[in-house]
Structure formats: structure tokens, C-alpha cells
Structure 1
Amino acid sequence: MVVTKLAYTYIAKRRYWRFRRAGIDAALPGQPGEPEFHIKYAELLALSKSKPPEHDRASFRWLVERFEGSAEFKHLAASTQLDYSKTLRIIEDELGDEPFAITTRGMIKLVRDSMASTPRKAHKFIQTVSVLYGYAASEDLVPDGFNPAAKIKKLKAKVKPYIAWSEPEIALFLSKAAAHVITPVMLALYTGQRREDVVSMDWEDYQGTIIRVRQSKTGEPLEIACHPILRKHLAGRKTTFGGPIARAANGRPYTVNSLSQALRRACADIDGMPNRTMHGLRYAAAARLEAAGCTAGQCSSVLGHRTYQMAMKYMTQRRDSEAAIRKMGA
């Protein structure tokens, strides 16, 4: 008999099982009823019942533990908690036994500089250390304003631009790709949402004329009008068992990573199709909205201000280059 509810478990993003107790928040493999699930569950349950080690109350390790047990941390969205937790583990590894009340800016910069090859990781480290000091100040553990991570410059990263899909590329892909990859591409193209939000869309979110979305990045609920072409496609893909709309060839819901990999493989399998990304579909959606006469405000309300700006920068350059070539051929 499949167990549907076990103590200290919860479901993340409506499909991933996790265990949370006594400071432990870890993924569980598979589903209840499967052997590997219950083996891991038993290990985590036993670990959660063991007495945690005592940490020096002056150390970063103790501060991190206290922060993760705080109401402020628990009030954050599950995805935000997970994001913080990854960097908090790095802080424990790099600064765990250091006394946070006398740590200097130079010490923080040394750790940041050790991550120079991964600027994004370095920046998240600085951001999270600042959050820790903000929490410490609110608990009177350090004086107000004491934050050695403050004003440390962000390392510049080489930005790889996202390329908007062209209309010929869209037509080629939709005519050649398998249906299970076409569905998330259609969802992204006609709603303009991020891949994280595309894989989270459930059939219950689809109301025929609208699709309800709660953006993972902002937490904002949206109701996006469903284009007739998307409605027609979804009508042919509707399932009786519900759940996530976007599913792989094996019927399992896509994850963010598995969707990116599936799209990469699909592009590689189509002659004449360059490698394109899910984020490039957001730019393509922005271009279509702009071409349809939508105002900047209308576009930004769906896509976000920065995405619209970046998409228009790319599309303007492409239109100008096409106009220049036409003049040369005149």
C-alpha cells in the first residue's frame, strides 16, 4: 500500500518529496511506497532524532543555525529557503568557526576572491553574509550597522546573452519537434513565462480562456489570457489525471533541468535549427507583444521590466540589420 503522508515530509513544487525536521531539510528519492524512498526517510528520521552538536555561540556556524531556525527564515518561500540554504552551507564551510562579531571586511573579501572564477556564486555569498548580519543586528548580536560584507564590490561576470527565437526558427521547431517538447515551448511562447513557471503549470491552472501563474521569482499571481492557438494545442494534450501540463516522453513531469536538456536535444535533432533556450522564448514573446501594438506597460506586466528591455534591445538590433541588408540589395 502506498503511503501518502509521513511525519516531517512535505511536497515541494507539487511533486518533489522532502524531509524537514530538527534543522534537516533534504530531498527524498522517488515516491512513497518505493524502497529507496523509505530507506532514505528512515536515515533522515534517525539523524533528526540524534542530539545536534553544540556550536560556539560566537561562531558563524551557530549564527547560521539560529538564522535557519528563526521565524524570519521560516516565513520565506520554500524556494527562497532552499536558495539561501545552499549558500549558507558555503558560509559554514568557509567561515564556520570564525567569530562573526569581530570578522573583518578583509576576511570576507578573501573568501569572495577565492570564488573569482564563479562571480555569481561570489555575489550570492556576499549577499547572504549581509543577510546574516542584518539578522544578527535585529537580534542584538552585533551593533546596528555592523556589516563587514557591506559595500564590497560585485565581481563582474561575462554575461552570455539570451537570443530571441526568430519566427522562422519557431515555425521550424513546431513543425519538426516531438509533441512533449512542443507543449512547454508553446506555454512559454504564448504566456512569456520563465521555465521555472512553465514546469509548474498544472491543468487546474488552465481555465480555458486563462492560465493562472504564480511567478516563482516574484511570488506574484498572474492571470494570463490564453491565446486561441495555445488553447487548441492544449485541448489535444489534456489528460484525465491532471497534474503538471508539461511532461516528458515517459509521462513524468519536467524539472527545470530536464526541460532544458530536452529542448537542447530537440534543437540538435532538427536540421537547420540552432541551439535555443527557454529564456529566448520569453524574448520572442516580448517581440510578439510589441509587434501586436502592446504598450511597454502591458508587456512588462506579463514579462517583467528587465526582460522586456533586453528583448527589445536585441530585436531592435536585428530589425536594423535586416533593414540595412534590404537597402544594400535595393
Structure 2
Amino acid sequence: MMDNQTAMTIFLLWGFSSFPNLQHVLFVVIFFSHLAILAANGSIMMAIKLSRNLHTPMYFFLCGLSFSETCATMVIIPRMLVDLLSHSKTISLPECATQLFFFFGLAANNCFIMAAMSYDRYTAIHNPLNYHMLITRSICCQMMIASLTVGFLVSLGIVSTIFSLSFCDSKTIQHFFCDISPVVLLACDYTFIHEMIIFVFFFFVLVGSFVLIMISYVFILSVIIKMPSAKSRYKAFSTCSSHLSVVSIHYGFASFVYLKPKNSELLHEDMLISVTYTVLTPLLNPIVYSLRNKEMQIALKKVLGHVNRSIPLLQRGNK
């Protein structure tokens, strides 16, 4: 009977309904933000693909991160835009579970990709002569596959834990997508054990990957300190600055949303932070890498120049 009840569950994504007068304004802002995310990350991926000097492990991981970030936004933002213009904001339980599964699988994948990027930077600085033998394309692909596999296994564990629960009469999710906190607050039999299971999964992803990143940077710092010249130290650290900036942004928002105690009174605050995490962070990543990296700036200028040359040719072909 519980399975039948669960199968028929329909949730209401209340989220932005708390701001009825801002629905159209939010739609415009989020719509153009989404276009900017697609354009920025697409430009990064195209620049890496078209520029031979960017065919290195660091940019391979950056391309994977941009693709993963783009996919994560596609899981959330299109549905969010539809709900902003729709009177019916319902979502079925299978749709809710699918959304949560893909979003957290990709988010966990991002964490492990950033850990792989930090290991790549450590190897490049610590052992530059053997770097290309230690970090081969095959090893990069294995790291990417491992990140994706572990990320989705963790997400499967979270989704299985949450949707094995039974839900009470209230089906209103106080959020703009199926996030963990607002969904579990609707469960009748959500216990401390379930909370600990979910917390362990999050701790493994966020804290585990962050510890790996910090270990890499401790070794990087120890190598940089031993370098004889200030110019060498600056050059070595500058290759890590973009990655450190992205890590700070990503883990700062994610930890605040997912590692703090859950409280129904703070759902609106969590929702506003989640908007930043799901919309702003994927846009900041390519901006940080393009502003702080000369190689990327040169590659992006070439891509933009190629696009500008292609537009007149397409217009003439259409005529």
C-alpha cells in the first residue's frame, strides 16, 4: 500500500510562488543567465577543442568541468523557467527523483573533477620533467570516468534513501527544484538514521574531495617555497590561482547549503542561496578561468574571431 501511495505522489514546487509579483522579472533574469552560462561554458569547451596548445591535462579537466556544469544547469533551469510562467507547478515523484539523481550526480562529479585538477597541478609543479608520462590522456580519461561513476553512485544512495520514505499529506516542496532538505521535510518516517546516512554521503563527497584538494595544495606549497627565485614561485602559483578561486566559490556555497543542520524555518534562505549555487556558480567558473589565464584569453579571441568570420559567410549562403 505504501508503494502504491508513493507511486501516485504528486509534489507542488512552490519555490518562487512566494514572490508572485516577481515571476516575470525572475524569468527574464534567469533566462538570460542561462544563455550566458551556455555561451560561456560552450566557448570554453570550443576554445579547448580548437586550440592545440590547450590539449593538456589541465584543460582536459576544465573542459570536463564545463560540460558537467552545463549539464547540471540543464537539469534544473529549464524546468525552473517553465514553472515561473506556469500556473501548474506540479512534479511527479519519479520526475522529482530523476531530477535529484542527475543534479547531485553531476554536482558530486564536479567535486571529484576539481580534486583531479588539484592532483594534476601538484604533478606539474612537483615533477615537471616527467609530467606528461605521469598524467597521460589515458589516466585523465580514467579519472574522469571514476569521478562520474562515484558521483552517480553517491547520488543513487541519496535518492534511494530519500524515496524509500513515505510522504505525509503535505506535498508542497518549498523550493524551485527537488532538493534534499525540502523533500525530506515532507516525509512521515524520516529519522535520525536517515539523516545520518544522507549526511555521510554528503560528507564523503564534499569533505572527502576537499581534503584531497587541500592535501595536493599543501604539497604544492611546500614545493613552491623551496623554489629559488620569486619569478619561479609566482609562475608556479599562478597556474593554480584560477583553480583555487573556483574551488573556493564552489565549496563555499555547497557546504553552506548541504552541510549545515536542516531547519524548515530557513528554507527560504536556503532557496535563495541555491539560486546562487545553481545559476551563478556555473557562470563564474568560465569567467574566472578566462580572466586569470592568458592562454585561455588568446584561445577565446581566436574562437570569437572564427565565429565573427563565419557569420557573414552564413548570411551570404542564405541569400
TM-score norm. by structure 2 comes to: 0.22
Which structure has more relative contact order (CA 8 Å, sep 6+)? It is 2
Q: Which has the larger radius of gyration?
A: 1
Q: Whose helix fraction is larger, Structure 1's or Structure 2's?
A: 2
Q: Whose strand fraction is larger, Structure 1's or Structure 2's?
A: 1
TM-score norm. by structure 1 comes to: 0.22
